[in-house]
Structure 1
Amino acid sequence: MNKPPGISSNSALQQVRRIYDAAKAGHTGALDPLATGMLPICLGEATKFSQHLLDSDKRYITTAKLGVRTDSSDADGAVVEEKPVPTDLTEDKIDAILQSEFSGEIEQVPSMFSALKHQGQPLYKLARKGIQVEVKPRKVTIHEIKLTALRDDEIDLEVYCSKGTYIRSIVEDLGHILGCGAHVKMLHRLDVGAFTADRMMSLDELRELVPENTTEEQQKGIQIELDKLLLPAWAAVDDLPAVRLNDQQTSLIMHGQAVANANYAEGSLIRLFGTSLDSDAERFLGVAEVVEQQLKPKRLICTEADQ
C-alpha cells in the first residue's frame, strides 16, 4: 500500500483490514504519520511471514530542510534551533560528506521519537512526556546514498539501507556536520525487499472498489476484484529457495515433523510447497529451516489439526 501522509501506519492497516473483512492483519514496518509510501500489509495466515519483510532492505527518498532543527528531527516536531545555511554548499561537497560519513556500515543513534522501546514503552511516548532516556548507538548498513537535488536550504536524498535505519538520524547528523542543523521535511518509502514502488496502490484506489449500498451479487463481484489485488501468501518470502514435497513428506511436515534434505546449508530458510489435502494441486505449506540436513518446520500456513 502507498500510505498517505497524516495518518499512522496502524490506522492505514485497520482501514485495509476492514475493506477485506480480515480477522487478522499486520504491517511490516511502521512509517511515521509524516511519511508516505510503501507499507506492505499481510492478511490472515500471511501475517506469519511478516518478520521476513521487517528484516528486508528498504529504499527511501527524502527532503532535508537545512538551517532548522526540531525536537523530533522531522517537520512534525517543535523547532529547537535555527542557524544560517552555509553559502558555499555545493553538490560535490555534500556528496563527499555522504560518501565518507554515511556509506557502508555506520553507527547511528535513533531519535527519541522513534518506535524503539525502553522498558516496554515506545520512545516517542516517553519523548512526548518530556522524558529522556539514553539511546544506545546501533550499527546499520547504507548500501547506497546519493544527492538528487540541492535547492537553497533544501536537499533531496535517495537512500538504500538495511533494516533499522532511521532516515531522520541521517538528516540530523548531516545537518550537524554542515553546521546549520536539518530536519526531514518529506519522507517517502519506495521499496521494501523485493516489493517495488510500481506495485503500490493508494487507500483511495482501494476504497473506489468498495461502493456503498451494493446488492449481495455486487458484493461478490467486488470481493473477486479485491482478491485479485492480493499477492500470494509466499510473496513475503519469495526470495527464499523453494522445495516441493511429495505426499508423504507433506504429511510429515504438516504434523510438525522434519524431513530429510541435504541440498542446502545449515540454518537456511526454505519455502515449502506440497500436495493439497483434497486434490493434486500444489499448495504453499510455509517455511522450514535446515537443521542437521533436515527440513524442520518453522512457520506453517496451517497444521493438519487446523484443517
Structure 2
Amino acid sequence: MARVRRGRPVDGILLLDKPLGVSSNHALQSVKRLYEAAKAGHTGSLDPLATGVLPLCFGEATKFSQYLLDADKAYESTFVLGTVTDTGDAEGRVLEDKDASGVTESDVITALQAFEGEIEQIPSMFSAIKQGGQPLYKLARKGLEVERKPRSVVIKTLQLRAFRGGERPEADIYLECSKGTYVRSLAEDLGRAIGCGAFVSALRRTRAGPFGIEDSMTLSGLEALKGTGESGVLDTLLLPTDAALGALPLVRLSESSGFYMRQGQPVMVSNGPRDGIVRVALDSGEFLGVGEMLDDGRVAPRRLIVTGR
C-alpha cells in the first residue's frame, strides 16, 4: 500500500537566506512546516557556520534540483591566518598556532593567484562526501581519517576584498567557483602556501546559479509573514518550477504535440537545437519539463512535471 504523503501540494522554488548556526536540512524542515508542504528538498548543503543563498525546491520543482546542484556558486568569506584547526573552520580544535604578523596584504594577493582556474582539492574530513556509505564528517567525529582522492574544481574569480594585519591577520575573500568547491580547503591550502596556516571564520553564499542573495528571504521574515495569517501569502514568494532552468534552450510545442509528449513519446519540433537538453513548454507558456533533442529533430521527454494533482 502506497504511503500517503502529508501536507499540501506546493510547487516552486524559494530562495532562503539560511541563518547562521543551523544545518541546511534543519532550515529546509522549518520552511517546509511553514508552507505545510508535502514535498521539499534543498539544493546542496551549507555548513551550519555558513549563511546565504539556499534554494529550496517544492513539489514538482524537486525534479530539477540537480541543475542547481551543478550550478556555479559565489561566496564571501573571512580567512584567519596563523591558525590551523582540524575542521578548517572556527568550530574546530586548534592544531597549530603561529605568529603571522609578518604576513602582508601583498603576500595574500600573490598567494591567491596560484588558486585561480582549474585546481585540485582534497576534501576535508569534515565534509559531507560519503565514503563507504558514511559522510566523512561522521568518520572524523569518531577520530578516524581516511584517504580522500583529489577533486578538480574551477575557481573563476578569486579576490582579496580587505586585509586586516596583526598577529592573526584576517583576509576577506570573494570567489566564484564551480560546484564541489570547498572554501575551507581553499583557506587551508592558502595558509599552507603562505606558510602560516589558515581557517574560515565566516562564510556567506551570495549566489547559487542564477539566484542572488538580494532576492532571498530570511527564516525570520518567513515566520513573520506566516504570522499575519493571510492565506497564501508565502506562496507569492515562490519562483516558477522552471526558474532554475533558464540557461537551457526553450522548445515550444503545440497543444497536440504536448499531448503526445505527456504520453512519453518524442515529438518533432521546428527550428529546435540540434542536440542537448532543452526546456519544453506549450505555445501557451505552460511548462512541461525537460527533454533531449534527438538526431532526427524530435525532442524526447526526459523529466516531465505532473499537473492536476
Q: Identify whether the pair has TM-score above 0.5, normalized to the shorter chain.
A: yes
Instruction: Indicate whether 1:107 and 2:120 are aligned.
Output: yes
The match for 1:283 among 286, 302, 306 is 286
The match for 1:256 among 264, 277, 281 is 264
Letter of the 1:94 partner, please give it: V
Q: What are the superposed Cα offsets for residues 28-54 of structure 1, whole Å, 9 maximum, x if unpaired?
A: 110000100010000011000100000
Aligned residues: 289
Letter of the 1:263 partner, please give it: G
Q: Which residue of structure 2 lines up, in the alignment, with residue 91 of structure 1?
A: 105
Structure 1 residue 95, shift from structure 2 partner: 1.3
Instruction: Indicate whether 1:246 and 2:254 are aligned.
Output: yes
Letter of the 1:161 partner, please give it: C
Q: Which residue of structure 2 lines up, in the alignment, with residue 215 of structure 1?
A: none
The match for 1:161 among 164, 167, 177 is 177
Partner-residue secondary structure (3-state), 1:40: strand
Gaps of 5+ in 2: 1-15
Instruction: Report the Cα distance in structure 2 between the residues aligned to 1:299 and 1:79, rounded to whole angstroms.
Output: 47
Letter of the 1:291 partner, please give it: L
Q: What are the superposed Cα offsets for residues 158-183 of structure 1, whole Å, 9 maximum, x if unpaired?
A: 01000000000000000111111110
Q: TM-score, normalised by structure 1?
A: 0.91
Structure 1 residue 147, shift from structure 2 partner: 0.3
Instruction: Indicate whether 1:271 and 2:279 are aligned.
Output: yes
Structure 1 residue 282, shift from structure 2 partner: 3.4
The match for 1:71 among 64, 72, 86 is 86
Instruction: Indicate whether 1:171 and 2:187 are aligned.
Output: yes
Gaps of 5+ in 1: 212-217, 276-280
RMSD after superposition: 1.5
Partner-residue secondary structure (3-state), 2:186: helix
Contact 1:86 1:180 in 2 (8 A): no
Instruction: Indicate whether 1:182 and 2:193 are aligned.
Output: no
Instruction: Report the Cα distance in structure 2 between the residues aligned to 1:222 and 1:32, rounded to whole angstroms.
Output: 33
Q: Which residue of structure 2 lines up, in the alignment, with residue 233 of structure 1?
A: 241
* Deviates most, 292-301 or 176-185: 292-301
Structure 1 residue 260, shift from structure 2 partner: 2.0
Instruction: Report the Cα distance in structure 2 between the residues aligned to 1:252 and 1:145, rounded to whole angstroms.
Output: 48
The match for 2:39 among 12, 18, 24 is 24
Partner-residue secondary structure (3-state), 2:65: helix
Instruction: Report the Cα distance in structure 1 between the residues aligned to 2:241 and 2:257, rounded to whole angstroms.
Output: 21
Instruction: Report the Cα distance in structure 2 between the residues aligned to 1:90 and 1:149, rounded to whole angstroms.
Output: 12
Instruction: Report the Cα distance in structure 1 between the residues aligned to 2:104 and 2:210, rounded to whole angstroms.
Output: 34
Q: What are the superposed Cα offsets for residues 195-247 of structure 1, whole Å, 9 maximum, x if unpaired?
A: 01210110000000112xxxxxx85x331x11110000010112211111101
Structure 1 residue 96, shift from structure 2 partner: 1.8
Instruction: Report the Cα distance in structure 2 between the residues aligned to 1:39 and 1:193, rounded to whole angstroms.
Output: 11
Partner-residue secondary structure (3-state), 2:140: helix
